[in-house]
Amino acid sequence: MTTTSAIEIAGLTKSYGDHSVLGGVDLTVPPGTVYALLGANGAGKTTLVRILATLLRADGGTAAVHGHDVAAEPARVRESSSLTGQFAAVDEILTGRENLVLIGELRHLEDAGGIADRLLARFDLTDAAGRRVATYSGGMRRRLDIAMSLIGDPPVLFLDEPTTGLDPQSRLEVWKTVQELAGQGTTVLLTTQYLEEAEHLAHRIAILHGGRIIAEGTLAELKRLLPPATVEYVEKQPTLEDIFLAVVGSDGSDQ
């Protein structure tokens, strides 16, 4: 395994009984990038992420995160990465700040309160720090969830369909957060079903289908797989999302 890649996967396989989910996945994720993994429901995206996060064991092949072998060094992998799943893993009874402090204390970090305050400021949640999370909007919960994942400064972050179920404004909030994380050097492996999400965020994109990566590259490289575009003059009508954001505003202010 090379240590120059944030994530390195070779020949990874996983089956459930007679059903093969991953049939030999090869993937290299450069450090400090947003890497989108596209695939339909059941394509194996979540299975792959769970293996990388040491929550599942692969049947075959190798995988490393931040230079640490997933099978041989699971503790080092967990120290180097964090996972945010499809649903925000926050305690609704606690306040936003209490959620962050709790994770800091569970990680045995010094000054958990100071870490919490810095993350609240970083994710524009300071004004809502003392409110119970049950009162938060979907976008605020997701931002808090990602903030909790960053306690301990993991260099690699797995985001498994992070905008599932979010409204357009909340989705834009998450997009902004992901872009900022990559700009600060965090490697983000993003699984998504939303093609526009990958277009907007990803430096590189891989398409998982039938248990294998069938295409990989930058958006420009993937576009070259298709025949040259023909020029047609059509009247562009606004989408419903364009209309919604124009009417309610798209500044992401939902506190």
Q: What is the pTM of this model?
A: 0.80
Would 132 be classed as within a structural domain?
A: no
Report if residue 55 sits inside a domain: yes
Tens of pLDDT, residue by residue over 106-132, are 888 999 999 999 999 988 899 999 999
Question: Residue 1 domain-assigned?
Answer: no
| Tens-digit pLDDT profile for residues 168-215 | 887 888 888 889 888 989 999 999 888 888 899 999 999 998 899 999
In a domain, 170, yes or no: yes
Half-sphere exposure of 90 (CA within 13 A, CB side): 30
Nearest 5°: the CA angle 130, 177, 159 is: 100
- pLDDT over 90, % of the chain: 52
Type of residue numbered 225: L
What are the tens digits of pLDDT across the range 61-75? 999 999 999 999 999
Q: Is residue 133 part of a domain?
A: no
Q: Is 28 among the domain residues?
A: yes
Cα 209–68–107 angle (5° rounding)?
105
Q: What is the reported pLDDT for 171?
A: 82
Q: State the chain's maximal CA–CA distance in angstroms.
A: 61
Structure token pair of residue 238: 């606004």
Residues 6+ apart with CB under 8 A from 100: 112, 115, 116, 119, 120, 144, 147, 148, 151
What CATH number does residue 240 fall under?
3.40.50.300
